[in-house]
Amino acid sequence: MDRTRVHVFVSGTVQGVFYRATTRDQARKRGVDGWVKNLDDGRVEAVFEGPEAALDSMIEWCHEGSPAASVTDVSVSIEEPMGLDGFEIKR
């Protein structure tokens, strides 16, 4: 199975609005591996690994985010897959 890895930075009102927990749930639903965490500057950082179609769906979801989120920007870069297994919230 072809796997791709994307590194995502999400800006806006994305902390304290269940963005990380909802990202984890959405990733697991799509069979995407990786992690998500809050950054000190107010952004959320995430890495997704999986089939390209699933990653496209996750990136699209990131533009909306959790119901209470207000996303202003999503920055995406493509990287080499690292073989992540599972999806976690990093502290």
Residues labelled as active-site residues: 20, 38
Angle at 75 between CA 46 and CA 43, to 5 degrees: 55
The CA-atom distances, in angstroms, between 43 and each of 3, 39, 70, 75, 90 are 26, 5, 11, 11, 14
What is the CA 70 to chain-centroid distance, rounded?
A: 15
